[in-house]
Amino acid sequence: MNAKELSQAIQTYVRTETFPVGVKIVKDEANLPAKVKLPSRDLGYQITICQAVGFSRRYGWSIAMNGADLSCPIAQVAFGYEEQLPFYSEGNLACGMYTDSLETGAKSEQDVPKLSAEESGYYVSFPLERAEVDPDVVVIYGNSAQVMRLVAGMLYKRGGSIPSTFSSRADCADIAIKPLQTGEPQVIVPCYGDRLFAQTQDHEMAFSFHFRDAAELVEGLAGTQKGGVRYPIPSFLRYQAEFPPTYQKLAGMFGEAKDKELSS
């Protein structure tokens, strides 16, 4: 299964409002897809990782970025563009905003998934339906029912449940790095930065997974749809409506009038 086929299947079974996005780490600039925008060169400013995904899923743009294009210091460390300086690893960025002490802030920073400098490269995001290469990871934004639909599809052949972790920050690392490192799909609660910088809305969640699981997901989406798990979620409509007393009185008058006609 290629990326464009996956995109079509997601639209068939999940019907997302924004484009499903592929993410790929590309080592050398020479190997970047032909039609990509480099933020510093083509936009004239640095952006965040979540903005790159936002451009891809909302505008349909392909974005390629490295440390020179990236404005977020946490992502600079997470994606291997900068070293973990003591000021970062001691918890200073989290303390006072997300945690009550440097000690707990350090725990939060330690928990962020990270690429080493050797694993790092250009972070490339693109809409699946315009993919020129297969992604490493796929991320799909949707409402909670759509994410539930994706979870059900991924578990169709596996059973069990999908373990995910949530920290309210650095979801860019959870989206891309964690599936690469663990091989497991992730349910994503968008972080504060994703909402602030990438305009992710309050009703949105996300689901990310390693691209090698794409065929399994599509088979699961088809199987669960056949079994009755669908989106949009069907509403239960098989009941008789109840009406206010005046409506019921009029309905009774209709019945009385018909009874008179039959008896005359």
**213: which DSSP letter?**
G
- What secondary structure does DSSP assign to 30-69, as a single string? GGS-SS-B-IIIIISS-B-HHHHHHIIIII---EEE-GGG
pTM of the model: 0.91
Find how far residue 139's CA is from the centre of its chain: 5
Answer positive or negative: Cα dihedral of 138, 131, 67, 80.
positive
Query: 138 - beta bridge partners?
Result: 22, 209
Measured at the alpha carbon of residue 151, what is the angle toward residues 60 and 190, in degrees to the nearest 5?
55
How far is the CA of 95 from the CAs of 18, 108, 111, 114, in angstroms?
34, 9, 14, 20
Look at residues 22, 32, 25, 20 and name the one whose alpha carbon lies nearest to residue 58: 20
User: Each residue's pLDDT tens digit in the chain (264 positions)?
Assistant: 999 999 999 999 999 999 999 999 999 999 999 889 999 999 999 999 999 999 999 999 999 999 999 999 999 999 999 999 999 999 999 999 999 999 999 999 999 999 999 999 999 999 999 998 999 999 999 999 999 999 999 999 999 999 999 999 999 999 999 999 999 999 999 999 999 999 999 999 999 999 999 999 999 999 999 999 999 998 889 999 999 999 999 999 998 888 888 877
